[in-house]
Amino acid sequence: MPTSTAERPGTGVARPPRAFLRGVSAAGLPTGPASTAPVTEADLAGLPPVAARYLRAMGVVGRPRTWSSRAHLTGRFRRGPEQPWLPCDAWQYNAALEVARLFRMRLLVARVVPMWGWDTYRAGTGRMLGKALGLVTVADGSGPEFDIGELTTWLNDAVLLAPGMLVHPRTAWQPVDDGSFRVSVTDAGHTVSAEVLLDDEDRRGTSAPRTAGSISPGGRCGPRGARRCGAGPSSTAGPG
């Protein structure tokens, strides 16, 4: 299927589209780590044991704190339960020095009409913007629900893809039982949380979003929960 990415000759590795790179550059985010000092056992000393086990199993200890991450995802997407599945190709950039998430997705409607969408969280503000042919706005959402929703997605991304981003004073940890814990992040006056269920190797099963305040998706998912959610990237580039 057609995608919005090109490949480096002879490597088979997709390159981010120029529009995505321009969007990341325009966000004005930090371009390097604040410190290259590795995470140590001392950094985990005050955490619930189950959360510390998870961070160790995920390889956080002994490596510098993850300050950014980039992921490329391919798959399918639908705009509602009764809508057809559409092929999609997406790139995302998450930042931790300043909490930010920039997600750009390309859909192919009826396998003919391209549609591009941005999901963003920056400076405490979430937004969803979609355009057909890059010209006609078909979706444009913002407001408190989007602020909370996009920050919740940032948290889930961090749990599943880059847990080193969570070793920070803005993060709070609470044990649930020997195989799960709750992690919360506060940014720009918003607080969101997720319950993380671990597998038998103390790695992530998945996370269930929960938010503080009046907007609460609720729910619980994972190997021992009621449902699974989310999808993994087709490839990731580690700490930026």
The domain limits of the chain are 39-226
The number of residues making up the chain comes to: 240
pLDDT at 143 over 60: yes
What secondary structure letter does DSSP report for 227?
Answer: B
The pLDDT value given to residue 152: 96
173-181 long-range Cβ contacts below 8 angstroms, 24+ apart: 173/47, 173/48, 173/51, 174/48, 175/48, 175/49, 175/50, 175/51, 176/50, 177/50, 178/50, 179/50, 179/224, 180/50, 180/222, 180/224, 181/48, 181/50, 181/51, 181/54
Q: Whole-model pTM?
A: 0.80
Distance CA 139, CA 154 (A): 21
If residue 53 lies in a helix (H) or strand (E), which one and from where to where? Answer: helix 49-57
pLDDT at 201 over 90: no
Distance CA 200, CA 239 (A): 26
The pLDDT value given to residue 172: 97
Q: What is the pLDDT of residues 52-85, one digit of tens each?
A: 999 999 999 999 999 999 999 999 988 889 989 9
Q: What is the pLDDT of residues 86-117, one digit of tens each?
A: 999 999 999 999 999 999 999 988 778 888 99
- Answer yes or no: are the C-beta atoms of 61 and 41 closer than 8 Å: yes
